[in-house]
Chain A
């Protein structure tokens, strides 16, 4: 089994990936409650002025915005 080696913060604009796991941080709980759970597909769709926060499309259903620091908690599956 391959371990996840990159996070949401490493995605390039427009790229999609599937969530592998989240780091054990209080903010990860918030992210999960807002739908970022392992197995869900997310797409990096844009960033705010000055490059932070970023926004992602979750599960092809809705848009979440989060800071890059938080994006580092979301680990992605390798294709």
Chain B
């Protein structure tokens, strides 16, 4: 055996079996998150060394109860394990089972065993089970299943070295066939084997069951298999039920000998006590809302400090580069395009990190499953699902990771509705826009000494977004047709202390997802917008420039004023400015002029670009703080009427436009990937922006 080739190993197991903990215990910090080709399911890989210095590349497959997956993320498992040509196809599988719940956990183990890939069984949480008075005959398990069995405690870190030693041994495929293939399916398996080139019966049967979901089959092959299945009335559900019962039967047989309980099973007192409070019929939901409130407070107050530092750092760095390099278009591209783009991405990391820290803690402790449980009924009114809550809450930070987290919703319709309405929830990129416009339009008034009018309007905007999300979900519930029945079956794991390593890993992986998924698009658009805003000037700019030059030379304005006016004039006559003017007739009824038009266009990279664009258009200069910009905007006059431009009507119209409009390319890119096509992102853009247009129109015409 060559020592140089790394051993490819995959982790398989039930959700809550301690699979991620084992993954972390094995790999430590040698982890990375990527994507499986074609789907946006996070692909967690890591590596470690075993005896003899051989490297093991470990793949953490999504948690699943069986090899017949129901949701998008679980389908990754079969797409890897049923396809020997897949580059992630493992040399060795470690199935992690929760020893306190052995029977159910062994179901997927026996399924995996029949795939004919060398397998090791890791009995997690053995320490706790033994304390509970359970005796497990490990040798009997080894004999019956013909594989190595290793007790581990991923939380305590015990048994990890033994597991590594076992992994280092050479493994051969065992022939146990825990399940006998039904006779009536056998004639068809030959056809499947022809397609896959894999000779194993059980693999062929799996492929037959799940042909529609397997990415490695061609469309023709899928159709051929569907036709064959129809021909012999292949009742996939019935056969799977029979298989499942059959497997449970043989597992029970094995456990009858291997499993002994020396004292009666005790229920987890702590969990049932806590559940009485947290899932209380009346108090359960208020408690959840209170927790949400604390989380949002945390995001908005704590994140301010790191965000200010990042803002300061990016501005300083940009200024440094600007001074260091010779002036010219390359300098501008680097500072105003690339660095500004990176800054626009990095600024959101603190909020995303804090939000996902909370979400990870809620997941780790077992509370998140309860949240889905207590909110399912209410969510269902709006065509959503208890599992929609995580994506909707995540959307407060950023819709991109939120939409990705919707893939654990098994039902396609529920999932689609969740994806569709998530961008309505006000994300962190809207905050700077809201803050600026509220400051301009709403007076700083207090009611009863504490209620701040501006704060209330801010709250109102968030509420408006939520309302739009719920209303849209409700409408989609009736519009979308599906034959698939929505269901909700979920395990409520026992409450545990969070494992901080896992929390940290989640934060890391979510931030990475955001930076690489959203960041990529924001960067590209940012550079593109820089180009549109910097070039295209014609003769009118030249004459304006001369005019300004004369005014400067004769001392009418200082250098600062001159350069601000110049960049404003430059923007006005650029491609972006021309485009703003082009769309002006369309946005005039909303109370917007071409300058706001430019800001709307540039907001497509990321909404917060609005503030910077406004600063440039109204010649406030790059490093002006918000207060300066606010004063400046208040002073802007409407050129035709001479009245202030940013009246209450215009500001409200504009801010509501930002609440509703789909102005985020990264979100669209993710929605396209998640829904596998352009249909939904296009519908989303048309619907959201249409709603924004109509709402702004009504508001402006009403308040005007």
Contact = CB atoms under 8 A, between A and B. Distances in A.
A49 B285 contact: yes
Interface residues of B, number: 45
Contacts of A61: 100-101, 265
B378 A65 contact: no
Please give me the 3 A-B residue pairs with the lowest Cβ-Cβ distance, nearest first. Answer: A35-B104, A63-B492, A50-B377
A33 B68 contact: yes
A24 B281 contact: no
Interface stretch (B197-205, B337-345, B482-490, B607-615): B482-490
A27 B487 contact: yes
A31 B241 CA distance: 10
Interface in B64-112: 65-66, 68, 70, 100-101, 103-104, 107
Interface string B485-512: 1011111111000000000000000000
Contact of A24 (B101, B238, B265, B491): B238
Given A37-B245, A65-B490, A70-B489, A49 B377 contact: yes
Contact of B284 (A30, A31, A38, A48): A48
| A: interface residue count bin | 35 or more
Contacts of B487: 27, 30, 66-67, 69-70
Interface in B412-452: none
Nearest to B374: A48
B237 interface: yes
Contacts of A63: 271, 491-494
Q: Which of B104, B265, B488, B491 has the most CB of A within 10 A?
A: B104
B206 interface: no
Given A48-B281, A48-B374, A50-B377, A67 B488 contact: yes
24 contacts: A25-B485, A27-B487, A29-B244, A30-B410, A30-B487, A32-B245, A33-B65, A34-B65, A35-B104, A48-B284, A48-B374, A48-B376, A49-B285, A51-B377, A53-B377, A53-B488, A57-B267, A60-B265, A60-B267, A62-B104, A64-B489, A65-B492, A67-B487, A69-B487
Interface in A18-59: 22, 24-35, 37-38, 45-53, 55, 57, 59
B491 A59 contact: no
Q: Which of B66, B271, B373, B490 has the most CB of A within 10 A?
A: B373
A53 B410 CA distance: 16
Given A34-B104, A46-B275, A48-B284, A67 B491 contact: no
Contacts of B494: 62-63
B296 interface: no
B66 to A, nearest CB: 4
A59 B285 CA distance: 28
A31 B489 CA distance: 7
Contact of A67 (B237, B376, B492): B376
Given A49-B282, A67-B488, 7 more contacts: A33-B65, A33-B68, A45-B272, A49-B285, A61-B100, A61-B101, A65-B489
Interface string B371-413: 0111011100000001000000000000000000000001000
A27 B68 CA distance: 12
B279 interface: yes
Contact of A46 (B237, B245, B279, B491): B279
A55 B248 contact: no
A48 to B, nearest CB: 5
Contacts of A32: 241, 244-245, 248
Q: Which of B238, B386, B492 has the most CB of A within 10 A?
A: B492
B139 interface: no
A45 B271 CA distance: 12
Contacts of B490: 64-66
A59 B489 contact: no
Nearest to B280: A49
Contact of A33 (B66, B237, B267, B281): B66
A53 B241 contact: no
A11 to B, nearest CB: 17
A26 B103 contact: no
A63 B272 CA distance: 10
Residues of B contacting A: mostly: helix
Interface of B: 65-66, 68, 70, 100-101, 103-104, 107, 237-238, 240-241, 244-245, 248, 265, 267, 271-272, 275, 279-282, 284-285, 369, 372-374, 376-378, 386, 410, 485, 487-494
A15 B238 CA distance: 30
Contacts of B386: 53
Contacts of B373: 48, 53, 55, 65
Nearest to A57: B267
Contact of A55 (B240, B241, B244, B492): B492
A44 to B, nearest CB: 14
B438 to A, nearest CB: 35
Contacts of A37: 244-245, 248
Given A52-B376, A59-B103, A29 B488 contact: no
A48 B104 contact: no
Contacts of A22: 241
Contacts of B282: 49
Contacts of A64: 489-492
A50 B275 contact: no
Q: Which of B281, B285, B369 has the most CB of A within 10 A?
A: B281
B488 A49 contact: no
A61 B494 CA distance: 10
A62 B491 contact: yes
Nearest to A67: B488
Contacts of B275: 46
B377 A29 contact: no
Contacts of A47: 281
A45 B107 CA distance: 25
Contact of B241 (A29, A46, A51, A66): A29
Contacts of B410: 30
A35 B103 contact: yes
Contacts of B248: 32, 37
Nearest to A26: B237
B489 A34 contact: yes
Contact of B377 (A26, A52, A62): A52
A48 B386 CA distance: 11
Contacts of B103: 35, 59
Nearest to B283: A49
A29 B244 CA distance: 8
A66 B41 CA distance: 25
A66 B488 CA distance: 5
Q: Which of A33, A57, A61 has the most CB of B within 10 A?
A: A33
Nearest to B372: A65
B489 A30 contact: yes
Contact of B488 (A45, A50, A59, A70): A70
A67 B245 CA distance: 23
Nearest to B240: A29
Contact of B491 (A28, A29, A34, A48): A34
A7 to B, nearest CB: 15
A31 B107 CA distance: 13
A34 B489 CA distance: 9
